[in-house]
Chain A
Amino acid sequence: MTSPSTTADVVAPKTGSGSDNYLVHDKGFLSWALTLDHKRIGIMYLASVLTAFALGGLFALILRTELLSPGHTIIDHDTYNQMFTLHGAIMVFLVIIPGIPAALGNIALPLQLGAKDVAFPRLNLASYYLWLLGAICMLTSLVMNAADTGWTFYAPYSTTTETAVAPAAMGAFILGFSSIFTGLNFIVTIHKLRPPGMGWFRLPLFIWALYSTALIQVLATPVIGITLLMLTVERLLHIGIFDPALGGDPVLFQHFFWFYSHPAVYIMVVPGFGVIGDLIPVFSRKRIFGYKFIAVSSLAIAFLGFLVWGHHMFVSGQSTLAGSIFSAITFLIAIPTAIKVFNWIATMYKGRIHLDTPMLYALAFLWVFTIGGLTGVFLAVMNVDIHLHDTYFVVAHFHYVMMGGAITALLGGIHYWWPKAFGRMYDEKQGRFGALLVFAGLNITFFPQFIMGSRGMPRRYYNYLPEFQDLHRLSTIGAYMLGLGFLMTAFYLVRSLKSGRPAPANPWGSRTLEWTIPSPPPYYNFHHAPTVTRGPYDDYDTLVYDEKIGGYVEKTPSA
């Protein structure tokens, strides 16, 4: 590799310890703690989010172990309530909402735009520290008398209980700002830092998804902010907004809470759609089917998501009029979602499928998310929801979409961008095994919960009738499988950092811009923003696999 100007060298440059990249460019703790490099910030987010995931997962395993038998198994009922509250709060606010945007988005977004950084790098770092501060605040609740209200903080219990609700609520408040600033940053980056030739309809679908998510983040999160603030002030000063004993309205609290928390679930899952949208064409070696439909459907889901929050409140005392309106609009959301699923499947049709680990996660997503999404439509029917509300059916539904949707996509994305971010390939066999274990564990854990719920097993219950024990046990076995799958995955991923094969610039043969620069990228990303002349999923035929480097390169004319 003597002349650096041929395209072959561009896509297969020197890797290994000799070259400079963003990981080694500056050394020392402060160079990470005060970094403005989006890639380093993304890595910090990734490590933090996965640590929080491990903690939330630990609580989940304790809960599932407790549920092996009715009555007391390993913890008492008050501790149980605290445990499911913290499990939910950590998973929702610390893991899944930041998850894909903050970790994968930060690493990949500017790279996919051929940009040097996001629009506001200092704001980006501030977002990360706000996450950290929010996490500390929330965990303060854990070490004090942890909140036992459920992650939904319903009044008047949350305004009157003795447990430490204020730290948990204020932690979520701070995390909200982290989310808002990330969303704000991404919107401006996507508007202002696109390279020449990259119009809106040449953006990778991951970016369309991040854009839609960012719009939701910016519009919805302030409402949970004010809600949690009002909750905390009500607790401390007894102002009487939500507590009926003081003249307040508890259903109003639910309106305020769900006005954010429903769009929040789209913050959780739409980035997942984006990851899948980037994975499927690459691993099918085929251009995406219906690009514009998929792009616009992300915006449609974001918009419709704001109109349906009352479907969480059918049995809360909400009027039937409001309930009917919310129910009807909820059915509509199935449409853009289904369009995505159909288009992804159409993309795979007559493609050349490569069952690498990221693709296995993408396929798992299709299966698991479809089940989760469909059961959501069941719950949207008011008269069905009256029976299923607050049962395990709901628990199974949202775990299928959150675990099977958001987390599966997060794992797929981690495995996809891992070589780019760290310059190392992980062991593919272990990757595939981990994916299968996670998929199996997921289904074994949560499918029995659909059955339990439809037979009447309520959620958040410490004790239960003996007739549910077998299904609970099955679910717990699945949970341990899931935990094992995640542990295995963590293990081989971390190991690859030391002993993985050095990664080429483009191991997967993708056409998006981040794969045109070395793995790991230089700290400045691109000297000049490249000019873009085609879509992000075009011309896979012009890439050919090079055995020597284990990655894809441009076909040279003579070859």
Chain B
Amino acid sequence: MSDPTPQAEPKSEGSTPRPAAVADAKHAGNGHAQADEHHGHSEHPFLAHHFDTPQQQFEAGKLGIWLFLLTEVLFFAGLFCAYTVYRAIRPEVFVYAHYFLDTRLGAVNTCVLLLSSLTAAWAVRNAQLRQHKHLMVNIVITIACACTFMVVKYFEYSHKVHDGLLWGPNFAPKEQVWELKTFKDKHPEAAEYAEKLAHAAKHAEKAPAGAAAAPAAHGAAAAPDAHGATDEPSEPLPKPTLEQVEPLVAAGLVGEKAESPIGVSRPRNAHVFFSIYFFMTGLHGLHVLIGIGIWIWLLFKAKRGVFGPNYFGPIDYAALYWHLVDLIWIYLFPLLYLIH
């Protein structure tokens, strides 16, 4: 039984027919090999049957991975959108939250990921130049950096859990924001004033009804009355200065954005920041973990010495994925940790 050669159209002058490709076991699907012409596919054991040349296969893979990266950008887009919308309309929540964060750990993670991006790009070079040992070293360093990132992340998360800084209804910070070192260093007068306000509010609670007055926004005096209270006599608070009250308003601790009109509290829906924080960093962390898995798989492949100038695609594609993971962090870091 012969297969008819499908040549319905005559070949035009000057066009070269593409080389015949072998139909191999993969195509049959369950291991039955079909002996056919062997042109070039035996020289390139990693060349799939439906591609003609290693270059075509590589370029197809490259286009494919870029398309995948496109989908990843749009996947994270939703979270960046949620972040941007909330930051635009509820800036006080973000100002409030940033006092709780540790910039140094975030910066360390940024540098770690940048280094791993270098080793990933370097690994592509190694694969192209058939430098098997260097390739494995670079992959190992990439994995090590990624693991370091996850370890730092673990410490960050456990700090937050310990401090009650969780998402949604679980948000219950152990410390008040004006008690934090970050707040005190930046706004010492405001921290002091907030202490006084909190104190006064507590006394006002203990006093009979009608005692507490709401501190108004921007420069108005807060003066809780004292009506024959049995505790310490409370004096009316002096009119606060701008330095004392502005940081509190900016962070939604007092004023119309605050949860409670009495005394000093926290902004309404303060948990939204931490919901977004955990979602974004969590999803990013998941991508780092997946990346670690991919690099481990490639390490084993590299160990077998399969990569060379005609076959380095998998390293190249994995490196591109890894660079995207780095790219996302490059934006996450200032947005989440460097809020001013």
Contacts and interface: CB of A to CB of B under 8 A. Distances in A.
> Is there a contact between chains A and B in the complex with CB atoms less than 8 Å apart?
yes
B26 interface: yes
Contacts of A187: 63, 67
A63 interface: no
Contacts of A193: 50, 60
Interface in B1-41: 1-12, 15-18, 20-21, 23, 26-30, 32
Nearest to B22: A524
A11 B5 CA distance: 10
Interface stretch (B74-82, B186-194, B207-215): B74-82
B11 A531 contact: yes
Contacts of A218: 67, 70-71
A225 B49 CA distance: 33
B18 A529 contact: yes
Nearest to A244: B269
Interface stretch (B230-238, B247-255, B271-279): B271-279
B64 interface: yes
B333 interface: no
A20 B3 CA distance: 9
B282 to A, nearest CB: 9
A225 B75 contact: yes
Contact of A196 (B15, B27, B268): B15
Nearest to B278: A239
B5 A34 contact: no
B60 A188 contact: yes
A34 B81 CA distance: 40
B168 interface: yes
Contacts, number: 188
A7 B76 contact: no
Nearest to B275: A239
Contact of B17 (A4, A241, A523, A531): A531
Contacts of B78: 223, 226-227, 230, 256
Contacts of B1: 19-20
Contacts of A136: none
Nearest to B171: A240
A192 interface: yes
Given A180-B71, A528-B20, A249 B279 contact: no
A116 interface: yes
B71 A528 contact: no
A532 B60 CA distance: 21
B268 A233 contact: no
B71 A239 contact: no
Contacts of A115: 50
Contacts of B168: 237-240, 246
Interface in B280-329: none
Contacts of B167: 237-240
A333 B77 CA distance: 25
A516 B167 CA distance: 61
Nearest to B37: A527
Contacts of A71: none
A531 B275 contact: no
Contacts of B81: 256
A429 interface: no
Interface stretch (A25-33, A282-290, A311-319, A340-348): A25-33
A222 B75 contact: yes
A511 to B, nearest CB: 9
A116 B2 contact: no
A466 interface: no
Q: Which of A7, A19, A195 counts the most B-chain CB atoms under 10 A from its CB? A: A7
Contacts of A554: 8
Contacts of A118: 50
A19 B3 CA distance: 10
B9 A192 contact: no
A246 B78 CA distance: 19
A523 B4 contact: no
B85 A252 contact: yes
A226 B56 CA distance: 33
Contacts of A40: 29
B85 A226 contact: no
User: Shortest 7 CB-CB distances between A and B: which pairs?
Assistant: A247-B269, A226-B78, A239-B275, A222-B75, A116-B50, A222-B74, A238-B168
Given A121-B26, A226-B75, 11 more contacts: A5-B5, A7-B7, A26-B30, A197-B15, A219-B74, A222-B75, A223-B77, A227-B78, A246-B271, A524-B27, A534-B9
Interface of B: 1-12, 15-18, 20-21, 23, 26-30, 32, 48-50, 56, 59-60, 63-64, 67-68, 70-72, 74-79, 81-82, 85, 167-169, 268-269, 271-272, 275-276, 278-279
28 contacts: A10-B7, A13-B4, A26-B29, A26-B32, A34-B29, A35-B29, A40-B29, A115-B50, A116-B49, A116-B50, A117-B49, A123-B64, A191-B63, A197-B15, A218-B71, A219-B71, A219-B74, A226-B77, A238-B168, A239-B275, A239-B276, A246-B169, A246-B271, A516-B8, A526-B6, A528-B17, A529-B17, A531-B17
